[in-house]
Amino acid sequence: MKKILIIIAIIVLISTVSFAQAPNKMSYQAVIRNANNSLISNQTIGMRISILRTSDTGTPVYVETQTATTNANGLVSVEIGTGTVTSGTFAAINWGAGSYFIKTETDPAGGSSYTISGSSQLLSVPYALYAKNSSSTVSGFAHYLGEPFNGGIIFEIYRGSDGLEHGLIVANTETTGVWLNGAGGYWFGADRTEDGAYNTSLITAGTIPTYIATLGTGWYLPSIDELSLLYQHRFYVQKTLRSAGNTLLPIDGTSTYWSSTELLASIAEAFYFGGGSIVSTSKSNSNRIRAIRAF
């Protein structure tokens, strides 16, 4: 029987060749643990990655294998679309045709005897991938990236499984602070990488709930996936922030933003905008805090 893969997975849109072309790969990161909940650290692993249609047991439309190495925190990073293809064509996936799931199978020994597996739904399709293969064009959306809307700026637009237009909005202002004070930390269970609203609802102490309460209903601290999307679409947000005289998204040494995604009782995920990387750091460190909301 295969073990259950306990992962934190981050999917980030990566541009290829030129800005004029739609990307043909996605960056995928996962924190990998064994059945005893221990990190698989500094180890070469074998992976089989499948894109499934409709459900986590659905038909694979694309399958590839890769060999990668985890870091000291058990984090592995791969680019889906660049591995050894087993079946399908990544560039030919019609992301607008329905729901899709990512299934990962892992061999901790670095081979192809996959003993760990897990899957997660793509709750939002990257906009550029959707536009490339969908019959709907950009003109099919009522909103645009960088649009001032509902108290902030739109930084992500996608068509959901309900067939409707949805998006994410980043606040015009921000604050700084620690994620949580106290030696040893505290585990809230806010471990979703794609759902900052869920995570924020569980965080009942520290700087985050205090800050969110000042913004009003609907705002929350972004998950690490949502921060990754904000970084990818910073160009659109920055132009609007600058024209309105609001606080810009920096790229200097102070440009680390807290996410709502926990890794351990004393560690949460953050995103460094100066280099476009995910940082696992102590909750007692002070970083930037910027809220988002969905529509």
Same domain, 258 and 229: yes
**Alpha carbon separation from 69 to 18, 31, 242 (Å, rounded):** 28, 11, 40
pLDDT number for residue 181: 82
| CB within 8 Å of 191: residues ≥ 6 apart | 8, 199, 261, 262, 263
Q: How confident is the model at residue 291 (pLDDT cuts 50, 70, 90)?
A: very high
Mean pLDDT of 81-102: 84
Mean pLDDT of 277-290: 95
Whether 7 is covered by a domain: the verdict is: yes
Cα 29 to its chain centre, rounded Å, is 9
| CB within 8 Å of 190: residues ≥ 6 apart | 198, 199, 200, 202, 203, 260, 261, 262
**Alpha carbon separation from 277 to 126, 138, 250, 280 (Å, rounded):** 18, 29, 14, 10
Whether 118 is covered by a domain: the verdict is: yes
Whether 92 is covered by a domain: the verdict is: yes
Of 206, 184, 180, which is closest to residue 268 (Cα–Cα)? Answer: 180
Query: What is the rounded CA–CA span in Å between residue 228 and residue 224?
Result: 6
Domain carrying residue 269? 148-294
Whether 138 is covered by a domain: the verdict is: no
Total domain count for the chain?
A: 2
Residue 99 contacts residue 54 (beta carbons within 8 Å): yes
Same domain, 170 and 125: no
* Percentage with pLDDT > 90 across the chain: 58
pTM given for the model = 0.57
More confident residue, 40 or 164: 40
Whether 273 is covered by a domain: the verdict is: yes
Whether 270 is covered by a domain: the verdict is: yes
Whether 213 is covered by a domain: the verdict is: yes
Same domain, 152 and 217: yes
Q: What is the pLDDT of residues 151-194, one digit of tens each?
A: 999 999 988 877 788 999 999 999 999 999 876 678 999 999 99
Same domain, 202 and 234: yes
Tokens of 189: 């269970």
pLDDT number for residue 31: 83
pLDDT number for residue 141: 76
Same domain, 245 and 116: no
- CATH number of the domain residue 274 falls in: 3.10.100
Query: What is the rounded CA–CA span in Å between residue 39 and residue 152?
Result: 38
More confident residue, 62 or 140: 62
Q: What is the pLDDT of residues 63-84, one digit of tens each?
A: 999 999 999 988 888 889 899 9
Tokens of 279: 């940082």
Tokens of 35: 């059945």
**Which of these three, 98, 132, 166, is where a domain ends?**
132
pLDDT number for residue 6: 46
**Alpha carbon separation from 50 to 47, 120, 129, 148, 274 (Å, rounded):** 10, 11, 17, 37, 32
